[in-house]
Amino acid sequence: MVLSKTISQTDVSIHSTFASRYVRDSLPRFRMPESSIPKEAAYQIINDELMLDGNPRLNLASFVTTWMEPECDKLMMASINKNYNRCVNMIAHLFNAPLGDGEAAVGVGTVGSSEAIMLAGLAFKRKWQNKMKQLGKPYDKPNIVTGANVQVCWEKFARYFEVELKEVKLSDGYYVMDPDKAVEMVDENTICVAAILGSTLNGEFEDVKRLNDLLVEKNKQTGLPLVKSINVSGHKYGLVYAGIGWAIWRNKEDLPEELIFHINYLGADQPTFTLNFSKGSNQVIAQYYQLIRLGHEGYTNIMENCQENAMVLKEGLELTGRFNIVSKDNGVPLVAFSLKDNSRHNEFEVSDMLRRFGWIVPAYTMPPNAQHVTVLRVVIREDFSRTLAERLVADIQKVLHELDSMPSRVTEKLAVNGVEHHPTVVKKTAIDVQREITTAWRKMVADKKKTNGTISQTDVSIHSTFASRYVRDSLPRFRMPESSIPKEAAYQIINDELMLDGNPRLNLASFVTTWMEPECDKLMMASINKNYAAVGVGTVGSSEAIMLAGLAFKRKWQNKMKQLGKPYDKPNIVTGANVQVCWEKFARYFEVELKEVKLSDGYYVMDPDKAVEMVDENTICVAAILGSTLNGEFEDVKRLNDLLVEKNKQTGWDTPIHVDAASGGFIAPFLYPELEWDFRLPLVKSINVSGHKYGLVYAGIGWAIWRNKEDLPEELIFHINYLGADQPTFTLNFSKGSNQVIAQYYQLIRLGHEGYTNIMENCQENAMVLKEGLELTGRFNIVSKDNGVPLVAFSLKDHSRHNEFEVSDMLRRFGWIVPAYTMPPDAQHVTVLRVVIREDFSRTLAERLVVDIQKVLHELDSMPSRVTEKLALNVVEHHPGVVKKTSIEVQREITAAWRKMVADKKKTNGVC
């Protein structure tokens, strides 16, 4: 995320050597240019910048996959339209953020607006809590005021973060939040009022100006401007494929510092305020491309064109004489409309029959108190042309004609049932009638699709016509195949299935971008391997999966304590001090006490005995790690399970286990199949795994799996219907691309057990090559274990002259990114270097790295230890008496001085 800083003159504009063929003027770096530039120039400018990022394969800090087969790359680009700094600053200026000269914006890139909303809501909640604590007032009953028309992510935020949602009800003909009613609902516990600039239901803009003026009046003792944060989806009218959003704050003071985490084990300090960690940079690159390529001029042209096409569709529908238009002309370019006459047929029937023509036009009921109104909605995106608008009107007329020409079977069926079962006349409301008709219609459609109730042979296995050139046997649909198959066959099987999904351009339910210029597609594939960060869900990565799993444990524990009549406001979770930062985020963001088992010399994972000692009645779960980020070691989940079973028997508790298998989940089943760490153990209730680590997919995919339905509280699952069908959802994000899911599917069927086993064994062998090479130098202690995640963590035997941070820094001259970091408490005096062995790290690279490390050591040995000398001089000058310091203090001082020296080297006089 970006924090305020001074921007040098060289940073305020961008140039490109080869782009000068198309454009000669430099572009502003932190603002959208006023005019559009040729797409070739936009491509060249960004491509030049990407070249400076270095080779992702030489980044040995990250676990994230950096190479996939070309066939899978091709599938990801085929499916990508299905469902930072510079961008943050450009968007902040676009939203009129009050930035001073040379001041950078405060904001973050997210997976979409859902994550952005969670972060903004959390910042408001924490700021309100801090204020109430200072005033000595209760801070356990926060609320948020919204309209009943808010997107489901606001309801998710309220339910997941325990904030009361106070909704302003809608009314006939007024389908957005009324500012006057909203302000009436505000009280001392209101953390914020959320206004929507473009309602999902009908596209209308809410009156933010009037809301602000009314709130200023209500809060006149402060007189402060009230818009503190804004979220926007890059993948909607920001014109980028699914998976990018932005949260922007007015200034630094509006984002509590305590919510920002600093991590260092990827090789440098990274301040972070996100719910996700590993995610691909390609959508960020795409957003940057659109902003500099289109500029104000291009975006204006596109939005005007969308609005004009919306008018074409609206006028065409009005000419049929059959519809009421519910949307407004000023707002998001969409058309929401309802049938004037619902007596014979309804909007759900129209929606269903339009699918026969390839259109996906959702039908849904409005929220309270307008739920008797049902609408159809068409979102007008850039790729929806005037021709398509006219074609849609023609197809709607065909559907209406067909419905008119046949008896209203659903209505007739209901009438017959009414006569048979209710001989007396029962007067029903319009809502009751509509619900019954809708339910019966959906049941009739479902009945058509029903088989004999068992899963057919075609459902348990998959075939492909053209893939039969490479493989004749059918593959299991719900299990990994035992053997690998040719990459051509895997490509063809999935490509055949994608063909059945229909044309994304005809999906008029979604706001998400489905087309981008080929130059941008090319940039996205060039940057996709650069890391920016049963009952189950796909997530953006293990961070989101851990948040969801932790939330499920917390809610289940709260429900149990409520039933027992016991306090439920002090939940805790037990982990090792070696957990990844996302566990600390979960604890801080969801207000759960984190009880950490401290580490010790030579034992850098959680001790199961100590962990179980820390468990009490308020422990929602114990989190074990299958593959520590620090040294790759697997924690002993089997022993933890056995100890907890015994403790639960003695106490009557039922403390469960979550396994964080982000790194090890795709390693243990193939290298150590006999190791018991998963659902074979009775107390393991949920597991998370990263698809973008050893699942072998590019950044941006993770999985959370629960033991069974009972372990995922039903209240956490949301059902939404305004994309055209009921969708149960338990995620922190909403719109995200399908391409990583497609890639995971490809890898699973392409490689099978055989292929994954071969790859993991190869990684482990290359780790041994590196380990043995380092041991032969005689200069390092190996901190990692042979059994675990294939990585090598090592530290210098002799720290008297130089340290690991110096080695890490000097390796960058050879192109290597090898992070150096200190261990967590109580082993923080140990500093290690870590090399992650991925599939693309060959034996040759391992041998080359050892050679380069030896060169670095030789160079460090051949020069005086300037840092140590400098420190010694300072001690003599300022401390004539001898002061005995601990080894930790000395190391910290040496490290700080070394970093300062490196930073001083990089400094210029401000002119390039």
The closest alpha carbon to 5, from 94, 92, 104, 78, belongs to 104
Could you tell me the sign of the dihedral formed by the alpha carbons of 861, 867, 871, 877, in that order? positive
For residue 76, how many other CB atoms are within 10 A of its CB? Answer: 24
Domain end position, chosen among 449, 483, 498:
449
The CA distance from 359 to 219, in Å, is 49
94: in domain: no
Contacts of 308 (CB under 8 A, 6+ apart): 386
Among 241-245, 435-439, 667-671, 683-687, which stretch is predicted with the lowest mean pLDDT?
435-439
The CA distance from 176 to 136, in Å, is 36
In whole angstroms, how large is the CA radius of gyration of the chain?
30
Residues 716 and 608 in one domain: yes
770: in domain: yes
Residues 356-362, mean pLDDT to the nearest whole number: 87
Residue at token pair 């380092």: 774
Residues 569 and 603 in one domain: yes
Which residue did the predictor score with more confidence, 696 or 85? 696
Residues 279-308, mean pLDDT to the nearest whole number: 80
Which residue did the predictor score with more confidence, 544 or 646? 646
Q: What share of the chain is helix, strand, coil (3-state, %, to 5)?
A: 45, 15, 40
Give the per-residue pLDDT at 308: 93
Which residue did the predictor score with more confidence, 503 or 369? 369
For residue 795, how many other CB atoms are within 10 A of its CB? Answer: 20
Which residue did the predictor score with more confidence, 670 or 4? 670
Q: 624 has which bridge partners?
A: 659
Q: Which of 496-505, 543-552, 725-734 has the highest mean pLDDT?
A: 543-552
**Is the pLDDT at 883 greater than 50, yes or no?**
no
The CA distance from 11 to 908, in Å, is 13
Give the per-residue pLDDT at 881: 43
Q: What percent of the chain has pLDDT over 70?
A: 66
The CA distance from 85 to 49, in Å, is 13
Q: At what angle are helices 39-51 and 518-527 packed, to 10 degrees?
A: 10
Could you tell me the sign of the dihedral formed by the alpha carbons of 583, 588, 594, 597, in that order? positive
**Tokens standing for residue 389:** 């608008």
Which residue did the predictor score with more confidence, 452 or 301? 301
Q: 103 has which bridge partners?
A: 6
Residues 888-908, mean pLDDT to the nearest whole number: 50
Which three-class secondary structure state does DSSP give residue 481? coil
The CA distance from 557 to 555, in Å, is 5
CA atoms within a 13 Å half-sphere pointing along the CA-CB vector of 93: 20
Q: Quickly state the pLDDT bin for 296 (edges 50, 70, 90).
A: confident
Residues 586 and 733 in one domain: yes
**Tokens standing for residue 864:** 């005086």
What are the CA-CA distances from residue 831 to residues 558, 602, 631, 808 (Å)? 40, 12, 12, 11
Q: Quickly state the pLDDT bin for 5 (edges 50, 70, 90).
A: very low
- Do residues 728 and 719 make contact, with C-beta atoms less than 8 angstroms apart? yes
Residues 724-753, mean pLDDT to the nearest whole number: 68
Q: Which of 95-109, 276-290, 472-486 has the highest mean pLDDT?
A: 95-109
**Is the pLDDT at 877 greater than 70, yes or no?**
no
Residue at token pair 């997530």: 539
301: in domain: no
**Is the pLDDT at 110 greater than 80, yes or no?**
no
Give the per-residue pLDDT at 502: 56
The CA distance from 311 to 386, in Å, is 10
The CA distance from 834 to 302, in Å, is 48
Contacts of 864 (CB under 8 A, 6+ apart): none
Residues 729 and 768 in one domain: no
282: in domain: no
Q: 823 has which bridge partners?
A: none
Q: Is the peptide bond before 826 cis (omega within 30 degrees of 0)?
A: yes
Residues 5-20, mean pLDDT to the nearest whole number: 49
Residues 830 and 769 in one domain: yes
Among 283-292, 564-573, 699-708, 768-777, which stretch is predicted with the lowest mean pLDDT?
283-292
Residues 155-164, mean pLDDT to the nearest whole number: 89
Alpha-carbon torsion angle 759, 760, 764, 770, nearest 10:
50
Among 438-447, 635-644, 707-716, 794-803, which stretch is predicted with the lowest mean pLDDT?
438-447
Domain end position, chosen among 419, 449, 479:
449
Give the per-residue pLDDT at 474: 64
48: in domain: no
**Is the pLDDT at 885 greater than 70, yes or no?**
no
Residues 591 and 681 in one domain: yes
Which residue did the predictor score with more confidence, 880 or 766? 766
Residues 542-551, mean pLDDT to the nearest whole number: 82
Identify the CATH number of the domain in which residue 118 sits. Answer: 3.40.640.10
Domain end position, chosen among 710, 737, 764:
737
Buried (b) or exposed (e) across 866-886, using 16+ Cβ within 10 A?
ebbebbeeeeeeeeeeeeeee
Q: Whats the size of the chain, residue-wise?
A: 912
Q: In what order do the strands lie in the sheet with 657-660?
A: 535-539, 702-706, 684-690, 657-660, 619-625, 572-576, 593-597
**Is the pLDDT at 868 greater than 60, yes or no?**
no
Give the per-residue pLDDT at 871: 44
324: in domain: no
Q: Quickly state the pLDDT bin for 397 (edges 50, 70, 90).
A: very high
For residue 171, how many other CB atoms are within 10 A of its CB? Answer: 12
Residues 338 and 444 in one domain: yes
185: in domain: yes
Q: Which of 61-70, 220-229, 324-333, 822-831 has the highest mean pLDDT?
A: 324-333
Q: Quickly state the pLDDT bin for 424 (edges 50, 70, 90).
A: very low
Give the per-residue pLDDT at 276: 65
Which residue did the predictor score with more confidence, 398 or 257? 398
**Is the pLDDT at 514 greater than 60, yes or no?**
no
The CA distance from 176 to 200, in Å, is 10
- Do residues 693 and 759 make contact, with C-beta atoms less than 8 angstroms apart? no
For residue 611, how many other CB atoms are within 10 A of its CB? Answer: 25
**Is the pLDDT at 99 greater than 90, yes or no?**
no
The closest alpha carbon to 822, from 848, 799, 838, 841, belongs to 799
Which residue did the predictor score with more confidence, 40 or 696? 696
Among 124-128, 243-247, 353-357, 867-871, which stretch is predicted with the lowest mean pLDDT?
867-871
346: in domain: yes
Identify the CATH number of the domain in which residue 389 sits. Answer: 3.90.1150.160
Instruction: Put residue 67 in one of left, alpha, beta given phi > 0 → left and psi -120 to 50 → alpha.
Output: beta
Residues 467-488, mean pLDDT to the nearest whole number: 62
Q: What percent of the chain has pLDDT over 90?
A: 32
Residues 611 and 718 in one domain: yes
Residues 556 and 608 in one domain: yes
Q: Quickly state the pLDDT bin for 481 (edges 50, 70, 90).
A: low
- The domain containing residue 391 runs over which residues? 334-379+385-449
Give the per-residue pLDDT at 417: 44
Which residue did the predictor score with more confidence, 196 or 449? 196
Residues 502-509, mean pLDDT to the nearest whole number: 55
CA atoms within a 13 Å half-sphere pointing along the CA-CB vector of 74: 10
Residues 696 and 757 in one domain: no
**Is the pLDDT at 651 greater than 80, yes or no?**
yes
What are the CA-CA distances from residue 446 to residues 416, 492, 719, 720, 826 (Å)? 20, 30, 18, 19, 60
Domain count, the chain: 4
Q: Quickly state the pLDDT bin for 510 (edges 50, 70, 90).
A: low
Q: Quickly state the pLDDT bin for 415 (edges 50, 70, 90).
A: very low
Alpha carbon 225 to chain centroid, angstroms: 31
Contacts of 73 (CB under 8 A, 6+ apart): 525, 528
**pLDDT tens per residue across span 578-602:** 988 888 888 988 899 999 999 988 8
Q: Quickly state the pLDDT bin for 26 (edges 50, 70, 90).
A: low
Q: Which of 63-72, 399-408, 624-633 has the highest mean pLDDT?
A: 624-633
For residue 102, how many other CB atoms are within 10 A of its CB? Answer: 13
Residues 218 and 359 in one domain: no
Residues 57-65, mean pLDDT to the nearest whole number: 52
Mean of per-residue pLDDT scores for the chain:
77
Give the per-residue pLDDT at 166: 95
The CA distance from 73 to 678, in Å, is 31
Residues 732 and 765 in one domain: no
